[in-house]
Chains A and B, each alone.
Chain A
Amino acid sequence: MSLQRYLIKRLLVMIPVLFGVTLLTFSLTKMLPGSPVDYILQFQETTPGLRDQLRAQFNLDEPVYIQYWLWLRDAVMLDFGDSLISDRSVSGAILTRLPKTLLLGFMGFAIAISIGIPLGVIAAINNGNTVDEASRVAALIGIATPNFWLGLMLLLVFSVQLGLFRVIPPDKAVLSPAMLKFVILPAITLGTASSALIMRLTRSSMVEELNKDYVRTAKAKGLSERTVIVKHVLRNSMVSVVTVAAIQVAFIVNGSVVVEQVFSWPGVGRLLIDAITQRDLPVLQAIVLMIAVTIVFVNLVADLLYSWLDPRIRY
């Protein structure tokens, strides 16, 4: 199957998945105890007129499938209505916070890759000896450390005791120096677990590649160890690493919800937690849907990248 046909097939498969994602998001929030009207009125008795007026405003007097259709129609246009708490538009609230989450995510991702891949290469070259063993233990510790604990400890040591960083993020523009300095600790917290996973994967796929015939050929024709590793082995073993790195996006989103809470980072993850505790349904729906759709597309990109990097793979 050619790449184009594969792409078309994948895009067609995505339609029911995206439909299911919207349906699930909508029904999850429908199942929440209490309706938005109750939360606006704060469960107080009011005139029936006001209640009916609010119900009409949120389309709650329509049948559920009409409600879903109206919500979906607006959601496609990125219109999620107004927040129940702040009366601001939901899309606006998310858009002001999105750059901060993206900064945190990219920095965390950068740390995961810049630690994970070199350490994985070193472990693979030292396959079987103490260095390899030490890297294994380090990876295990990295995966087993809860990120909220790591974040709190980093905050305690580097911000509170040593005073190197601020405890609360500065109220500056996203790419200002103060902000870039503050993001270091959250990014380390976010990237640690991912870097451990990427390191293990790099190691195992490198070890597999190192045993192949072309490595012996390359060494036999007199290439230096370094050239063989960097130009031949690393390039070939990156195929699976790149794919998994793309899937790590879900992992990073997961982590950012917790990390943003630890470092009081004003991003989308905190907005999500606030929306749940305050029962701010439109915000909750919008964020969950946004995350899910992003991940569907990231997985698509990962699959395409995989078959583009390794043309032998066809589905």
Chain B
Amino acid sequence: MSHESQRTTTTERGRIRVTGFDTSVFEDRDERFDWQQDESTVSRDRLTRAWERFKRNRTALVGLSIIALMLFTTIFARPIVIEGITVQPFSLAPFDPTNSNFAALNEAPTATHPFGTDWSGKDILSRVMYGGRYSLTIGVITVSIALSVGVPLGALAGYYGGWIDEVIMRLVDILYAFPFLVLAIALIAVLGQGFWNMITALVLVVWISYARLLRGEVLSVKENEYVTAAKALGARDRSIIFRHVVPNAMAPVIVQATLGIGTVVLNAAALGFLGLGLEPGSPSGAACSPAVAVA
């Protein structure tokens, strides 16, 4: 039986088992060509090459540095303490963002308060720096959860079609009839204010665009030969969808999702402006956060 196992080769990624030919035929044969791969390109993997391309794009570099600067200021604005352990001891923000100084209410910008103070004497610069944490986390968490809802539903609708498609897409159509902010406002009125309620409301509004976009891509990707090949080899639907179809249909969704972080932050800020954002009293980053420009 040892001979039998030799004749079996597996391709691990697709979990497709190909049997019936002798791999030693290929492994033992002589080198037909004296061609050798260029060593200088072998060491450069996909990530390195992507980075090389990225470095040549000036707009991308400007965008990256803006994001890096924002991440830096929000992370180092105040110390981060997780369960009593100080993870990050630095404090760049000149004042405590929640601390009121009643001697300086509504002050214009000065040397001590470069952005001035608000109606309750809180330093606005510190609040902007600290509030960025809320804005960025709301953006990233909302988009990640929305992706994990929208991608499977969009993939199922696009791949199976039929009644599954009808049900999911009609739901998407119904939600699409409500403008982003109107639906989010209504949902927050139902759920109440707060960090997680805001994220829930935003997720319920955001996922539909990812589902719609992915469904459209899946419709065209599933017509490819490699999908037919995978089916012919007896792969399960689950592995066809998530190993073959979705990875090839994700590109536009990823672009949309990256831009979506910015949109979500802006809309969270608009909700804050309308008085439906985070609870009053918390350093509501949304209310005074800078816009994220995703270049």
Binding site for B on A (CB under 8 A): 13, 16-17, 20-21, 24, 28-29, 31-33, 136, 140-141, 143-149, 250-251, 253-254, 257-258, 261, 272-273, 276-277, 284, 288, 291-293, 295-296, 299
**Residue with the greatest number of chain A CB neighbours at <10 A, chosen from B171, B177, B189, B295:** B177
Q: Which residues of chain B come closer than 8 Å to A296, judged between CB atoms?
A: 177
Contact B190 A31 (CB under 8 A): yes
Q: Name B182's contact: one of A141, A143, A291, A299 (CB within 8 Å).
A: A291
Instruction: Using known A-B contacts A16-B170, A140-B295, A293-B177, determine if residue A148 contacts B186 with beta carbons closer than 8 Å.
Output: no
Please give me the residue from chain A that is nearest to B178 by CB atom: A292
Please give me the residue from chain B that is nearest to A297 by CB atom: B177
Complex CA–CA separation, A291 to B59 (angstroms): 38
User: Is B70 engaged at the interface, CB distance under 8 Å to the other chain?
Assistant: no
Contact A145 B291 (CB under 8 A): yes
Contact B179 A20 (CB under 8 A): no
Q: Which residues of chain A come closer than 8 Å to B189, judged between CB atoms?
A: 32, 276, 284
| Interface members, chain B 276-295 (any A CB < 8 Å) | 276, 291-293, 295
Contact A148 B174 (CB under 8 A): no
Contact A273 B185 (CB under 8 A): yes
Contact B185 A144 (CB under 8 A): no
The interface size of chain B toward A, counting residues with CB under 8 Å, comes to 31
Q: A249 CB to closest chain B CB, in angstroms?
A: 9
Instruction: Using known A-B contacts A24-B174, A144-B266, A254-B179, determine if residue A32 contacts B190 with beta carbons closer than 8 Å.
Output: yes
Q: Is the interface of A mostly helix, strand, loop or mixed?
A: helix
Contact B177 A292 (CB under 8 A): yes
Q: Which residues of chain A come closer than 8 Å to B276, judged between CB atoms?
A: 276
Compute the total of residue contacts between A and B using a CB distance below 8 Å: 93
| Interface members, chain B 131-182 (any A CB < 8 Å) | 170-171, 173-182
Between-chain CB contacts (< 8 Å), 10 pairs: A24-B175, A144-B292, A148-B269, A250-B180, A253-B179, A257-B185, A288-B182, A291-B182, A292-B177, A299-B176
User: Is B250 engaged at the interface, CB distance under 8 Å to the other chain?
Assistant: no
Q: Which residues of chain B come closer than 8 Å to A13, judged between CB atoms?
A: 173
Complex CA–CA separation, A291 to B184 (angstroms): 14
User: Is B260 engaged at the interface, CB distance under 8 Å to the other chain?
Assistant: no
Instruction: Using known A-B contacts A28-B187, A28-B190, A147-B270, determine if residue A21 contacts B181 with beta carbons closer than 8 Å.
Output: no
Complex CA–CA separation, A148 to B180 (angstroms): 16
Instruction: Using known A-B contacts A257-B185, A258-B274, determine if residue A144 contacts B293 with beta carbons closer than 8 Å.
Output: yes
Contact A288 B178 (CB under 8 A): yes
User: Is B242 engaged at the interface, CB distance under 8 Å to the other chain?
Assistant: no
Contact B274 A273 (CB under 8 A): yes
Q: B215 CB to closest chain A CB, in angstroms?
A: 15
Q: A107 CB to closest chain B CB, in angstroms?
A: 18
Complex CA–CA separation, A145 to B266 (angstroms): 8
Please give me the residue from chain A that is nearest to B270 by CB atom: A258
Complex CA–CA separation, A20 to B208 (angstroms): 15
Instruction: Using known A-B contacts A32-B189, A146-B266, A254-B182, determine if residue A140 contacts B177 with beta carbons closer than 8 Å.
Output: no
Please give me the residue from chain A that is nearest to B186 by CB atom: A28
Q: A282 CB to closest chain B CB, in angstroms?
A: 14
Q: Which residues of chain B come closer than 8 Å to A29, judged between CB atoms?
A: 186
Contact A17 B185 (CB under 8 A): no
Q: Which residues of chain A come closer than 8 Å to B182, judged between CB atoms?
A: 253-254, 257, 272, 288, 291-292
Please give me the residue from chain B that is nearest to A250 by CB atom: B179
Contact A254 B273 (CB under 8 A): no
Q: Which residues of chain A come closer than 8 Å to B292, judged between CB atoms?
A: 144
Contact A140 B293 (CB under 8 A): yes
Contact B295 A288 (CB under 8 A): no
Contact B275 A277 (CB under 8 A): yes
Seed contacts A261-B274, A288-B178; 17 additional CB < 8 Å A-B pairs: A13-B173, A17-B173, A20-B171, A21-B174, A21-B177, A24-B174, A28-B186, A32-B189, A33-B192, A143-B262, A254-B179, A254-B180, A257-B181, A257-B182, A273-B185, A273-B274, A293-B177
Q: Which residues of chain B come closer than 8 Å to A295, judged between CB atoms?
A: 176-179
Contact B291 A20 (CB under 8 A): no
Q: B106 CB to closest chain A CB, in angstroms?
A: 15
Contact A284 B186 (CB under 8 A): yes
Contact A291 B270 (CB under 8 A): no
Q: Which residues of chain A come closer than 8 Å to B170, judged between CB atoms?
A: 16-17, 20
**Residue with the greatest number of chain A CB neighbours at <10 A, chosen from B179, B182, B185, B189:** B179
Contact B178 A291 (CB under 8 A): yes
Q: B212 CB to closest chain A CB, in angstroms?
A: 12
Q: Which residues of chain B come closer than 8 Å to A146, judged between CB atoms?
A: 266, 269-270, 273, 291
Q: B203 CB to closest chain A CB, in angstroms?
A: 16
Please give me the residue from chain B that is nearest to A137 by CB atom: B59
Minimum-distance CB pairs A-B, first 3: A20-B174, A292-B177, A144-B293
**Residue with the greatest number of chain B CB neighbours at <10 A, chosen from A143, A147, A261:** A143
Q: A220 CB to closest chain B CB, in angstroms?
A: 35
Contact A291 B179 (CB under 8 A): yes
Q: Which residues of chain A come closer than 8 Å to B178, judged between CB atoms?
A: 21, 24, 288, 291-292, 295
Q: A102 CB to closest chain B CB, in angstroms?
A: 16
Q: B178 CB to closest chain A CB, in angstroms?
A: 5
Please give me the residue from chain B that is nearest to A23 by CB atom: B174
Q: Which residues of chain A come closer than 8 Å to B174, judged between CB atoms?
A: 17, 20-21, 24
Q: A73 CB to closest chain B CB, in angstroms?
A: 20
Complex CA–CA separation, A213 to B262 (angstroms): 38
